[in-house]
Amino acid sequence: METKILEVQDLNKENLKAAMEKSDDIAQAKIDASLEKVDEAAEIIKNGGLVAFPTETVYGLGANALDEKAVGKVYSAKGRPSDNPMIVHIARASDIGQLTPMLSSKIIKLVDSFWPGPLTLVLKKKDNVPNVTTGGLDTVAVRMPDDPIALELIRKSGYPIAAPSANISGRPSPTKASHVIADLDGKIDAVLVGGDCRVGIESTVLDLTVDTPTILRPGIITSEDIQAVIGGKVQMDPALILNRPRDESEPAKAPGMKYTHYAPKAQMTVIEGERGNVKKEIERLKALNERIGLKVGVILFEEKDFVVAAHEFFARLRQLDDENVDLILAGALSDQNEVGFAVMNRMLKSAGYNIARV
Ligand code: TXA
Ligand code: MG
């Protein structure tokens, strides 16, 4: 299949603002040209096809969430296990009622505070949401993305859009259109080519079907942010913390074989410890491996630049893959900060929990 490349970069917040506030005709003409491309993409969704599109977190691979056949195609294009549920994206907060019978003051407060934005809510599902979309669960994950292209696509298609990240299953999530094209060209109907994703890691997933709201996937919206809005306790899914083999008596190569999430092609090690020691160890290992002829890539962010790290991490992994490095050495971030924790969640998975402590 030939994948249509639909350029829509001009449908962005700056142009929208200029067109609105200054009646800027040039900005308006650019927006209109992009809107035509979005129309084309919306037609594809309506006809049961697959369209990749930008969101503020990562690019998504969208299909009509209410069309079993279309959703089935998403699983096959990505090579995704069919028991892994998808997030359903909506363009108006009020559309949440089409997907779930749940309504509470907590939900309303969260939606008011964080939508559009990188917070996904797990809620009881209504019967019209097909089981394929939710991987057989009786809950549905819903979010309203903060991106004019995504919102316009959903609005124009007239359906909620199921969209996992637009990567081949197991590969790093795509934060640039070029990443999507590298993974899915020829496998999907179209790509809406917007700019780079602002956040860079996927949305925070919050389960509201349990007594204590529980974060199932950490993201840029933290438990503190959520607590500040709804009060009460918000917990981190214990599995997120247990997933970190921290026992120093264990060998560095933890049994991470089943964790092929976000995996770069190169072998990857995370170096954890006091900052100065981490830097020295990375330099030592780099020199050592280069001496035996290996190509080494390093991922080391500024110590407290958690938001920058989130923005850059997946793109760095893909860049190092493109450079054909043999080994990636990554400096751990502090997981005391929750955005740092969210990046570490991805970093450790990419490394298959291959951790060296210094
Ligand atoms: O930022 C994002 O969330 C991006 C953009 C495209 O919106 N999407 C994304 O989708 O990351 P995906 O499929 O790569 O990750 C969805 C995550 C998975 O970990 C999945 O297991 C979880 O959300 N999830 C989806 N529905 C769920 C449900 N009903 N209950 C529990 N977890 C669910
Ligand atoms: Mg994903």
Q: How far is the centre of ligand 1, averaged over its atoms, from the C-alpha of 121 (Å)?
A: 10
| 113 and 157 housed in the same domain | yes
Percent of the chain's residues with pLDDT above 90? 89
Asked whether residue 174 is domain-assigned, the answer is: yes
| pLDDT score of 253 | 39
Is there a single domain that holds both residue 233 and residue 271?
Answer: no
Distance CA 51, CA 188 (A): 7
Query: What percent of the chain clears pLDDT 70, i.e. is strictly above it?
Result: 95
Which atom from ligand 1 is nearest to the alpha carbon of 137?
29
Residues 111 and 204 in one domain: yes
pLDDT digits (tens, 9 = 90+) for 35-48: 999 999 999 999 99
Question: What is the rounded average pLDDT for all residues in the chain?
Answer: 94
Q: What is the pLDDT of residues 282-300, one digit of tens each?
A: 999 999 999 999 999 999 9
CB atoms within 10 A of CB 2: 8
Q: pLDDT tens digits, residue range 65-101?
A: 999 999 999 999 999 888 889 999 999 999 999 999 9
| 8 A C-beta contact, residue 35 and residue 194 | no
CA distance 248 to 233: 31
Give yes or no for a contact between 154 and 89, defined as CB atoms under 8 angstroms apart: yes
Q: What is the pLDDT of residues 178-211, one digit of tens each?
A: 999 999 999 999 999 999 999 999 999 999 999 9
Note the pTM of the prediction, 2 decimals.
0.95
Question: Would residue 9 count as lying in a domain?
Answer: yes
Q: What is the pLDDT of residue 153?
A: 98
What are 238-247's contacts with CB under 8 Å, separation 24+?
A: 240/215, 240/216, 240/345, 243/345, 243/348, 243/353, 244/348, 244/353, 245/353, 245/355
Please tell me the predicted confidence (pLDDT) of residue 294: 97
Q: Which of 205, 208, 237, 260 to mutate to test the pocket of ligand 1 (most atoms within 8 A of CB)?
A: 205
Residue with CA closest to ligand 1 atom 6: 60
From the CA of 171, the nearest ligand is 2
Identify whether residues 106 and 211 lie together within a single domain. Answer: yes
Please count the structural domains in the chain.
2
- pLDDT of 83: 83
Task: Compute the distance from residue 172 Cα to the ligand 2 centre, in Å.
Answer: 8
Q: Which domain holds residue 27?
A: 4-242
Give the chain's length.
358
